[in-house]
């Protein structure tokens, strides 16, 4: 038996015993529990410090299991599943009556996803049932994209953390709600609105702000995905000015840039440059934010990407990281 086989077996045993498992997926690491076991699901909320009325995504080995969890499944769902599963897309559908309230937050819908990561697939196939799995971070914090991040976030609350390497996509799945007649994107991700619309043959609504009737989604809270250090999103020119002022004042800053480079950052400041394309950028975003958050900076300056459709998912995460932070200019010396 290989080491991975042993780890897989240990993970499946832990899941059957109602324990939590750190699970690699192609988007971010999940904190998985048996979705039919309400005590196990309660452990997820306790470990994350997450409010109990926030619904969880149920992960499945295959789209063949859709009918075990959802009812009145529209043709649109079958089409999206055929086109994008296994992959970084979550479908919100009307739930089967026996799906535990603990999973759905008491709503009449359930979120379902078939992940593409081979380790997630192996665990789901061996386990057989659905696994409820939010991102494996503490509530409101940055999602983990490596096994080490999961340990950092959750420590001993997780029985087993499977190491599947760094996550390829790097940000959470696209969520599309198909329970309300018209398809509505609740969370942008790697699968874009135009790709969804092309497969569906109709427009997918992309509300900039979720309306009052939208189901609760913790990823839609303004200050989600936040580092501890205050974050400011700036264009290149403003970032350059702010960084120069910080250097003059002897202030340590963290910078996440796309185009700017500082070869010799002053006062222990750290500059990281991300690829200037949305896929490469998303892949590294959380990992680099985590690094910057730990460098002892008083503020993180992020070079804002363009406001274009292909950057939508990245911009969504950056805006949330920067939300509820000190007003513009606070914490920085005046230029």
Q: How far apart are CA 193 and CA 153, in angstroms?
A: 31
By the 8 A CB rule, do 9 and 151 touch? no
Place of tokens 């950052």: 265
Give the pairing of strands 160-161 and 253-257: unpaired
Residue 100 Cβ vs Mg ion, minimum distance, rounded to whole Å: 19
Nearer to ligand TXA among residue 94 and residue 325 (C-beta): 94
The yes or no reply on residue 174 touching Mg ion (CB under 5 A) is: no
Residue for token pair 């796309």: 258
Residue 146 in contact with ligand TXA, rule: CB under 6 A: no
Choose between 135 and 173: whose C-beta lies nearer to Mg ion. 135
Helix, strand or coil, per DSSP, at residue 318: helix
**77 CB-near residues (< 8 Å, 6+ apart):** 66, 70, 91, 93, 178
The residue from 86, 87, 100, 111 that contacts ligand TXA (CB under 6 A) is 111
Q: Does 175 bind ligand TXA (CB under 6 A)?
A: yes
Q: How big is the site for ligand TXA, counted in residues (CB under 6 A)? A: 29
Which of residues 157 and 260 has its CB atom nearest to ligand TXA in the complex?
157
Bridge partners of 31, per DSSP, are 22
Q: Which does 215 bind (CB under 5 to 8 A by kind): ligand TXA, Mg ion, none?
A: ligand TXA
Hey, which residues between 38 and 97 contact ligand TXA (CB under 6 A)?
Answer: 54-57, 90, 92
Q: Residue 113, Cβ neighbours under 10 Å: how many?
A: 26
226 versus 297: smaller Cβ distance to ligand TXA: 226
* DSSP 3-state of 111: strand
Neighbours of 298 (CB within 10 A): 14
Q: C-alpha 121: how far from its chain's center?
A: 18
56 binds, among ligand TXA, Mg ion, none (CB under 5 to 8 A by kind): ligand TXA
259-298 residues near ligand TXA, rule: CB under 6 A: none
Look at residues 175, 200, 201 and name the one whose alpha carbon lies nearest to residue 189. Answer: 175
Q: Does 135 bind Mg ion (CB under 5 A)?
A: yes
Q: Which is nearer to Mg ion, 16 or 138 (CB)?
A: 138
14: left (phi over 0), alpha (psi -120 to 50) or beta: alpha
Instruction: Decide if residue 218 touches ligand TXA (CB under 6 A).
Output: yes
User: Which residues make up the interface to Mg ion (CB under 5 A)?
Assistant: 135
User: Which residues make up the interface to ligand TXA (CB under 6 A)?
Assistant: 25, 27-28, 30, 54-57, 90, 92, 104, 107, 109-111, 113, 115, 133-135, 172-173, 175, 186, 215-219
């Amino acid at each position: 038996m290989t080491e991975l086989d042993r780890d897989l077996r240990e993970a499946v045993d832990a899941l059957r015993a109602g324990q939590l498992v750190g699970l690699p997926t192609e988007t971010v690491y999940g904190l998985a529990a048996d979705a039919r076991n309400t005590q196990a699901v309660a452990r997820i909320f306790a470990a994350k410090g997450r409010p109990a009325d926030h619904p969880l995504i149920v992960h499945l080995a295959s789209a063949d299991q859709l009918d075990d969890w959802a009812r009145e499944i529209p043709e649109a769902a079958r089409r999206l599943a055929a086109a994008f599963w296994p992959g970084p897309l979550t479908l919100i559908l009307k739930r089967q009556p026996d799906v535990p309230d603990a999973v759905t937050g008491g709503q009449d819908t359930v979120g379902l996803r078939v992940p593409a990561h081979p380790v997630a697939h192996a665990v789901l196939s061996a386990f057989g049932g659905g696994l409820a799995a939010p991102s494996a971070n503490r509530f409101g914090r940055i999602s983990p994209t490596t096994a080490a991040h999961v340990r950092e976030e959750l420590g001993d609350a997780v029985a087993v953390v499977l190491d599947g390497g760094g996550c390829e996509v790097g940000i959470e799945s696209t969520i599309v709600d198909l329970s309300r007649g018209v398809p509505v994107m609740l969370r942008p991700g790697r699968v874009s609105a135009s790709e969804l619309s092309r497969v569906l043959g109709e427009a997918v609504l992309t509300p900039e702000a979720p309306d009052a009737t939208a189901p609760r989604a913790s990823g839609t809270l303004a200050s989600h995905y936040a580092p501890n250090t205050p974050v400011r999103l700036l264009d290149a020119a403003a970032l350059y000015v702010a960084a120069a002022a910080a250097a003059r004042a002897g202030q340590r800053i963290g910078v996440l840039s796309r185009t700017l480079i500082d070869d010799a950052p002053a006062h222990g400041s750290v500059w990281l440059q991300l690829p200037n394309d949305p896929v490469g950028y998303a892949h590294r975003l959380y990992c680099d934010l985590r690094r910057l958050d730990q460098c002892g900076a008083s503020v993180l300056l992020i070079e804002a990407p363009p406001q274009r459709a292909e950057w939508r998912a990245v911009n969504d995460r950056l805006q949330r990281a920067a939300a509820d932070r000190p007003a513009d200019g606070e914490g920085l010396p005046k230029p």
